[in-house]
Structure 1
Amino acid sequence: MDMLKEMNEALNYIEGNLENQIDLAEVAKRAYCSEYHFKRLFSLLSGITISEYIRRRRLTLAALELKEQHVKVIDIAMKYGYQSPDAFSRAFQNFHGVTPTLAKKPEQSLKVYPRMSFQLTIRGGVEMKYRIVEREPFQVVGVKYEVEMVNEILSPTYEDMIANVGESGLNELATISRGEPHGVVHVSANYSESIEGKATFEQYIGAVTTEEIEKYETLKIPSLLWAVFEVDGDWTQVEEQWQRIYSEWLPLSSYELAEGPEILASKEQKSEIWIAIKKKG
């Protein structure tokens, strides 16, 4: 529960400083966690990056202020951190669909992006099966993709990545699996965000093995503590369980996210989600 309180304290700090330069390290400090932990947790809980959230909130407030006829566009641009009216105009039009000048008209409709708050939702006692695993260093060998997430859209998409590997490629990867998590694994690693709100990460479709295979990339994973969650069902159940891990299990546990990859291992209707964790404090 404290985790949600701390996340909301960080959002309160952001809301009070939208007109100022916001240091995300300071924001994370308000949530009593590392900058990596805060960025990743915010993105997983909300579906957008923290930088994109700040951008949308600023453009929402800017639109409200532009309705005051005596306000100049350049003053609003500078107030919300844009270095030029052109940069502000481009960002404003991308979000609202109209230029700042048109936005000043009383009859012009604009978008509003409300401030967020995090809450614990009780959904009626659906069990979650998990175990805590301390794993020695291991490696994943497979196909690697550089992925960008902009406005909640992935490029390339997971569908494109899977299609590119193909059924024969997935079967080959399954045959080289030599350790836990077993079978074909989907690994997201080296997550980062830019101040423009774009998130990037590496996506591997591969297998845990000791082999070195020339045509594949290799991801070395250090010794970490893992929370491993079992999922029965299709991709819909996997996505739902993934969200519940961050919104229900993590806030009530004695753990927090560690800087490490996230792993999904699936075979038929059985899956495991591996999340790197560490003890709080």
Structure 2
Amino acid sequence: MLERLNQAMEYIEQHLDQRIEAAELARIAVTSEYHFRRLFSALAGIPLSEYIRRRRLTVAGARVLAGTEPLLDIAVRYGYGSGEAFARAFRAVHGVGPGEARRTGAALQSQPRMSFRLIIEGSGNMRYRIVEKEEFRLVGRKARVPLVHEGMNPAIVEFMRGIGQEAMGRIAALSDQEPRGVVNVADRIGDDRAEGTELDYYCGAVTSADAPGDMETLTVPAGTWAVFESSGAFPQALQYLWRDVFTQWFPSNPYRSRPGPEISRTVISPDGTTADAELWIPVERTGE
């Protein structure tokens, strides 16, 4: 899998001055576009589109400083329809416009080429199982929140506080199947999973019961799920578990993620410092 990812990275380098389709990169990596975008953002730490943009402007920056081509030619070469659009994008990355950079020989930012290799540290205690699950319903409260990769998510904290103990008790009482208890669900997440991307966030229970009038229902189709468990510091236990699933487990196993909600259940210690985390990811076999 990593060899194919690196072939896709080489394709990016060879086509920085052409249109690059994520579907073609996924074809090279022999996976779905959906999974490729998620795997890339987990491995690289930035969305695919942002990496390509930074690489283009890094190479364009070198051409600007070389001083042998008109700035408009460089702009067009790297996909910008006007000098103004190129200047805005150039300044956003380098902190200086292309004309000024050429006149002054300014120091520019650089996005290095990326390649991937798998390092298994063996320090975690991630456990997993594969579950085939029929269609089910999630019933609970819902909010639209931004994605936060590390640390507490203020929007989620505020949402959870607003539910109240009485409603939380009613949600917990609805649970009658796996994953059991009160669960948190992230749905309709942007493909690139960029920081600040909005998503539907549910606090609910997986149940066969009908939704009370003050709650919402999310119907989840039948499918295969990879279920991961881990323990550690809160909230890092769950955040690091998600990262390790995509950076370590997927590259080493014959599965890929598929569209669908991601479900987590976190049991926090009484002092609030540690947690046991369970993560349900919708998957499909790759055929390997």
TM-score category (smaller protein):
0.7 to 0.9
- Give the root-mean-square deviation of aligned CA atoms: 2.6
Matched residues in 1 for 2:149 and 2:187: separation? 18
Match of 2:112 in 1: 114
Secondary structure of the equivalent of 1:122? coil
- Which aligned segments of 4 or more residues in structure 1 are displaced greater than 6 angstroms? none
Q: Figure out how many residues of one structure are paired with residues of the other and give that number.
A: 274
Match of 1:58 in 2: 56
The 2-side partners of 1:101 and 1:110 are apart by: 13
Partner Cα separation in structure 2 for residue 173 and residue 237 of structure 1: 24
**CA drift at 1:222:** 0.7
Q: CA contact under 8 A between 2:125 and 2:230: conserved in structure 1?
A: no
CA distance in 1, matches of 2:235, 2:131: 24
How many Å separate the matches in 2 of 1:198 and 1:62? Answer: 27
Give me the whole-angstrom Cα distance separating, in 2, the residues matched to 1:220 and 1:36.
21
Higher mean alpha-carbon deviation, 131-140 vs 163-172, is at 163-172
Q: CA–CA distance in 2 between the matches of 1:197 and 1:186? A: 19
Q: Deviations over 1:55-83 (max 9, x none)?
A: 11111111111102232221111111111
* Shift of residue 238, structure 1, vs aligned partner: 2.2
Tell me the residue number matched to 2:252.
252
For 2:258 and 2:48, how far apart are their aligned partners in 1?
18
Q: Deviations over 1:220-272 (max 9, x none)?
A: 11111111111122222222222221122222212222222211111222220
Residues 92-103 of structure 1 aligned to structure 2 (within 5 Å)? 92-103=90-101
Q: After the TM superposition, which of the residue ranges 216-225 and 48-57 deviates more from structure 2?
A: 216-225
Distance 1:265 1:67, change over 3 A: same
Deviation at 1:106, TM superposition (A): 4.5
**TM norm structure 2:** 0.85
CA contact (8 A) 2:130 2:225 kept: yes
The reply on whether 1:158 has 2:156 as its aligned counterpart is: no
The aligned counterpart of 1:49 is 47
Seen in structure 2, the aligned counterparts of structure 1 residues 44 and 141 have a Cα distance that, compared at 3 Å, is: farther
Distance in 1 separating the partners of 2:143 and 2:74:
39
Change (3 A) 1:14 1:239: same
> What amino acid maps onto 1:228 in structure 2?
V
CA–CA distance in 1 between the matches of 2:83 and 2:141? 43
Range that drifts further, 138-147 or 16-25: 138-147
Superposed counterparts of 1:143-222, under 5 Å? 143-147=141-145, 158-166=153-161, 168=164, 170-193=168-191, 201-209=199-207, 210-222=209-221
2:244 alignment partner AA: R
Alignment match of 1:275 (pick from 254, 274, 281): 281
Q: Which runs of 5+ in 2 are unaligned?
A: 269-274
SS in 1 for 2:261: strand
Q: Where in structure 1 are there 5+ consecutive unaligned residues?
A: none
CA contact (8 A) 1:67 1:106 kept: no
- Structure 2: distance between partners of 1:171 and 1:159: 23
Task: Give distance in 2, aligned partners of 1:242 and 1:197.
Answer: 15
| Partner-residue secondary structure (3-state), 2:258 | strand
Query: Mean alpha-carbon deviation: is it higher for 18-27 or for 123-132?
Result: 123-132
Contact 2:34–2:191 under 8 Å retained in 1: no
SS at match of 2:130: strand
Change (3 A) 1:104 1:197: farther
Give the partner amino acid of 1:214: G
